[in-house]
Amino acid sequence: MKLSFHGAARGVTGSCFLLKTKDQNGKDYQILIDCGMFQGARYADEANFEPFHFKVKEIDAVFITHAHADHTGRLPKLIAAGYKGPIYCTHPTRPLTRLVLEDSFHIMSENSRRNGDPLLYEQEDVAGVFEQCECVNYHEQITMGPGFTLMYHEAGHILGSAYISIETEGKRLVFSGDLGNNDVPILPDTEPLSQADYVVCESTYGHVLHEDPKGRTEILHQVIKETVEHKGVLLIPSFSIERTQEVLYEMDQIFEHTYHVKMPIFLDSPMAIRATELYRHYQQYLQFEANILEETDKDFFSFPNLHETLQTEESKAINDFPKPKVIIAGSGMMHGGRIMHHLIRYLPDTDCCLFIVGYQAEGTLGRQIFEGAKNVRIFGQEVKVQAQVKAIGAFSAHADQAKLTTWLQPIDGRLPKKIILVHGDPEPQQVFAAHLRHELRVEVVAPEFLEEIDL
């Protein structure tokens, strides 16, 4: 059994892992876990245009852990390269992935029109992904061959997210995908790991401990209150899937129970608006910390004064509303979408607060601002950063060091033979690897891009 790393190796984006194995009859198989987009300074980073470093037509199946672009963004490219096999995912992941891929194609098309950037794939390749999708339930066994089975387990990261366990060649291999934070108010908890010989584990926040998630409501409440007092603008760049829904849920609780103030709040992201509708549709997959369906508005992502600006004209009209106001807009890492226009307008404003609620990958505009840049370039324009910049880890959709360490200790009491760290920048991975070697006394490795490991 051999495992190679075609993305998210000593980096956070581009998750793509190739497993070569055999069933009990000796038949060879090759499967992919995820096929994500590399994300950096440009929306479609140059690395995405490199040919796949494996023979696409020899892949037997693709298994997607969740809908985020860094796990699904190169699926249309895979179709364009000739992949004809099944693409497995959970039921909510399929429509969420459609949103992600269609939005990605729209952004790339706009960049191509504006800057002459090449397209990574064509519209028909996006459609091809969903023609080959096969939806499965959590804990439904997928049989590839005798003695070779796979299963999805709740990851608690976003709606429909999963980690994947694989039984093959008499061993149990687990791919974490992205694991959710503790006490996410709208999702089930991450399912404990029952047993594992090898674990491929994300390490995004393996070097830190998040703030207490239970304090996120108070932190957001305080930021909103300060915005009102300063008659300013609260700008929240938010990932359209999960982070936006969590922020809306927390605001719903604040305005329902704590802070009764009339102030316009704008959800200025077509993708986030559509994703929120899917969260409503698939609410049987959600789990709320409060019985919110019995509250006044009988809705978990809406409240008075919330404006959903689906059309471009509605988005432009936000400028006409007086301060104070709140604007939630994508993209979360500030490398595309409507947030860019709001940044140009409000970053130079000392009454503005930029509230960062998600991970900012290296090379992104969001990372520059997070690390204290005083001037940034947006659409070729020099923009001063004079707004307040605040960041909170409690809204992170990723597990921190403590949760990852706990999850890596299976219920059966037998620690994995080897832990393989992916989906993390080099320094956090080094810190997390040292921590795991000390705490768990197991072998921990962080493979390089295209490295192959023999299990």
Task: Say if residue 299's pLDDT is above 80.
Answer: no
Residues 260, 132, single domain; the answer is no
Task: Say if residue 89's pLDDT is above 90.
Answer: yes
Residues 154, 89, single domain; the answer is yes
Task: Say if residue 382's pLDDT is above 90.
Answer: yes
Residues 409, 362, single domain; the answer is no
pLDDT at residue 38, rounded to an integer: 94
Among 368, 391, 414, the domain boundary falls at 391
Which range (82-86, 143-147, 361-365) has the least confidence?
361-365
pLDDT at residue 396, rounded to an integer: 81
Closest CA relative to residue 101, chosen from 132, 67, 133: 67
Residues 321-354 have pLDDT tens digits of: 999 999 999 889 998 889 999 999 999 999 999 9
CATH number reported for the structural domain that contains residue 326 in this entry: 3.40.50.10890
CATH number reported for the structural domain that contains residue 419 in this entry: 3.60.15.10
Burial of 282 from C-beta contacts in 10 A (0-12 / 13-18 / 19+): middle
Among 348, 375, 391, the domain boundary falls at 391
Number of domains in the chain: 2
Q: Pairing state of beta strands 148-154 and 142-145?
A: antiparallel
- Give the rounded percent of residues in the chain with a pLDDT score beyond 90: 79
| Adjacent-strand bridge partners of 233 | 325, 352
Query: H/E element holding 227?
Result: helix 216-229
Residues 6+ apart with CB under 8 A from 221: 254, 258, 259
The DSSP 8-state label assigned to residue 183 in this structure reads: T
CA-CA distances (angstroms) from residue 119 to 39, 76, 416?
15, 11, 42
Task: Say if residue 43's pLDDT is above 70.
Answer: no
Residues 111, 190, single domain; the answer is yes
pLDDT at residue 290, rounded to an integer: 60
Residues 381, 404, single domain; the answer is no
Which of the listed ranges 44-53, 152-161, 233-242, 388-397 does the model predict with the highest average pLDDT?
Answer: 152-161
Residues 10, 117, single domain; the answer is yes
Closest CA relative to residue 96, chosen from 125, 73, 80: 73
Q: Pairing state of beta strands 452-454 and 2-5?
A: antiparallel
Q: Which domain holds residue 324?
A: 213-391
Q: How confident is the model at residue 148 (pLDDT cuts 50, 70, 90)?
A: very high
Residues 295, 258, single domain; the answer is yes
Q: Are 108 and 44 in contact (CB under 8 A)?
A: yes
